[in-house]
Amino acid sequence: MYKRGDEKTIIGYTSGVFDLFHIGHLNLLKNAKGLCDKLIVGVTSDELVAYKNKKAIIGHQERMEIVRNIKFVDAVIPQNDMDKFKMWERLKFDVMFVGDDWFETEKWQELDNKFKEVGVKIIYFPYTKGTSSTLINNALKKLRE
């Protein structure tokens, strides 16, 4: 946690694959930055994407570089583990931002309770309607057929 005089600096954290960067990604980062002073973004490694039986089109280093250059982002780190609490133990962020597609899922209810115990708030942002990397990938597949 950073200090600015007597004021506490709010550290925010979010993570994602950020493949085929689109307006939904930008909305997430912009909205997150509006609710914290410093925004740290974890970019999912290629190995972790593969673990989820998917494959990123853009390589991990390039995805990190793209996210690093978004003006709302203060720091970028690799996300090599799905355990968000381990990341908190490492970074000690105050607030975590996720898409509302996870809201009230069993996994995130458990995480929410665990984070409350250490004073971390989880904020769920609405998914940007009409766009996602999956939709873009499917459209590209159809174009190639």
Which member of 30, 38, 54, 121 is catalytic?
54
CA within 13 Å, CB half, 26: 9
Question: Is the pLDDT score of 124 beyond 50?
Answer: yes
52 is catalytic: yes
The pLDDT, as a whole number, for residue 2 is: 47
* The predicted structure's pLDDT at residue 24: 87
The parent domain of residue 42 ranges over 3-144
Q: Which whole number is the average pLDDT over 127-134? A: 65
Instruction: Find the helix or strand (DSSP H, E) in which 16 lies.
Output: strand 11-16
pLDDT at 1 over 50: no
> Residue 135 pLDDT > 60, yes or no?
yes
First and final CA of the chain: distance in angstroms?
Answer: 51
Reference 19, options 100, 131, 127, 144; nearest CA is 131
Amino acid in the structure at residue 141: K
pLDDT band at 72 (very low <50, low <70, confident <90, very high): very high
Q: 116 catalytic, yes or no?
A: no
The number of domains in the chain is 1
CA distance 30 to 58: 22
| pTM for this model (two decimals) | 0.84
Rounded CA separation 4/44 (Å):
31
14-23, 74-83, 95-104, 124-133: segment of lowest average pLDDT: 124-133
Read off the CATH number of the domain in which 111 is found: 3.40.50.620
Residue among 52, 55, 86, 92 flagged as catalytic = 52
pLDDT in tens, 33-68: 999 999 999 999 999 988 767 788 899 999 999 999
- Quote the radius of gyration of the chain (alpha carbons, Å): 16
